[in-house]
Chain A
Amino acid sequence: MITTTNLSKKYNGKQVLNIAHLEIPKGQSFGLVGNNGAGKTTYFSLLLDLIQPTTGDIKSNNIQVNLSEDWKSFTSSFIDESFLIGYLTAEEYFYFIGELRGQNKADVDALVNQFEDFFHGEILKQKKYLRDLSKGNQKKAGIVAALIGNPEVIILDEPFANLDPTTQIRLKNIIKDLAEQKGVTVLVSSHDLMHVTDVCERIVVLEKGEIIKDIATSGETLKELESYFAGSLEI
């Protein structure tokens, strides 16, 4: 589904990302972990054609993302709060995203209503603008907005950060369900090793822009990751 070849990104001669080859098959729940500055967000930004690669390319469904825009119709994402429009209410924001993705109000309502649990009564019918919601609630709205319009690829950067424990668990179920039941390719980055091992079938560790580990998740994975990150402390 997503093929990355010889991808690199340099800022002022300094390499921040260098991936020779990475293949993410359809329907996989894919986790990206790494310390700050490891290149997680850079990779996602390249995938969304928000920045230009220095070399190489990413093909999504055989569409090279920086040459054609056709991947946009089946890809959705929530990277950070800058993906929200602060002066809209959550409903208005969902409808707006829905319009962009060819969904009418009824479609959007039907989808959004499935997440009543997840919202915990704090998002819909609040008569509040998104900018006035707490960080955690903003994140909830952004994540659900990324599910509108039946996307085949969903990219979530740090989805667990700022969420309360209940919501984290609910989010894990949502992500698992998307990959297993609906065949959606879900890309998640996280600093939280436990969540990411719970959710993802496959975990890739980035360090200084390079792939260090590529693990198919098993019972041992969490230990392996923890010892890796504990070890990199001492270096």
Chain B
Amino acid sequence: MTVTPPARPLWFTGDALGPRLARHTLTLVALALLLLPLADLSIITRDPWTELARMARGLAWPAWGAVESPFHALGLTISIALWGTLAGMVLGFPLALLFSKSRLVRASCAFLRAIHELFWALLFLQVFGLSALTALAALAIPYAGIFAKVYAEILEETPRAPGDALPPGVGRLVRFVYTELPLAWPRLAAYTRYRFECGLRASVLLGFVGLPTLGFQLETAFREGRYHEAGALLWLFYLLIASLPWWSHRRLLPVLAIGGAFLLGPWPSVDSALLWRFVSQDIWPQPLLAWDWPGLITWLTRIPDLAPAIGNTLLLGLLGTVGSLLVALVMWPLASRHFGNRVSRLAGSGLLVLLRSTPELMLAFIFLLLLGPSMLPAWLALALHNGALIAFLIARHADSLTPGMTHLPASGRLAYELLPRLYPSLLALLYYRAEVILRETAILGMLGVATLGYYIDENFQYLMFDVAFFLLLVTAAFNIAVDALSRRFRPKEAPLEVPGMDA
């Protein structure tokens, strides 16, 4: 008697986790492939390879001497990140305590989070000008929303036993300070540290809107084709990120903060009347303030057709997510102890760290110079950066696993031992990242990709604050919706044990 294997592949049917995740992934990939023709992926520059070679030469032979006052730019970058994170913490912590109690607080925090640091910067730029106040507010406000949510989650997950063990009659404040706070402290500190690292990257990016951080010189050097200088600045940035564990020591931070505070000036003189006018009038459509409903409809019709921009934003978000998945799948073995030799692993981890610490906007900017303005540079940047980030975390997860069968060939180890165990976490991380990807999709518009961010940037430039603010609200609404969707669809079986993947 012969037994024939089932004709249909097993992933096609079945309710187990494996087949379900496989179907899930394939649906996602199929959707991306189906919509791919709608994306503009053309390469516009005539000779990207020559340009790439010039950039590589610039990176290989950086011109250190050409960088203008690098220490001031570095100091300002650190100082903005430090004070911005600190202000976000101070604002976010009280919100975290109210987070589970108040729907209003949750909704406002979701809104604050949904708008990217750079868009906040564009908004505050109109009132505070090119000053440290703009930079600090641009970091502190979204971070307050993020801290509120993450701190609240961490506090909620503290063990209940120590609080239950307290004798009766202990007040809420004392209970919090003696049990919940010390129990949550290590995770709170770890997350704050991670957020500070994000703050550093964001602080660099603020240079792209004109604030004099490292990013400003970087953008100018790249845009003007001075690649040797750009190379030096890029190395400076990598050194800054790589040396973070050494200079961000707990005892050193207060010194850095106080020293850095002197770099933040000169402070702008805030005209409160102007500020109030901006908040109460400039950013709202005139017809709305006058309660003129027909006028509001005409106002809405004058807004350029948003459908393509929204379509592009969502499409780029989807492509970026699927691209990240593929990049992560291909790249994680490069940095895992289960594959290759010491040299290949070192090179693999180096590549992942490099891609993961370069902000998307910067990657996209470089690809844009290489390939010309289409969706392709943005897609590549999103896929490479987020894919590398996920791959790095998955490789660390893989390193903590011990395969049951030791002498399998590499392919068998990958397909039978490791991937089945890692894939649920990989997908969970991807879904977590999807919201971040969408938020960054919007800011890539600032580079000329026709997403919502493109129109936001444009309207700010034309001083049409009402339209820009309206588009910001639309972007935020989409981010919140996609966050809710990804929360709904992400596999519940894989708990995320990786700290700091939240936002």
**Do A and B associate with each other?**
no
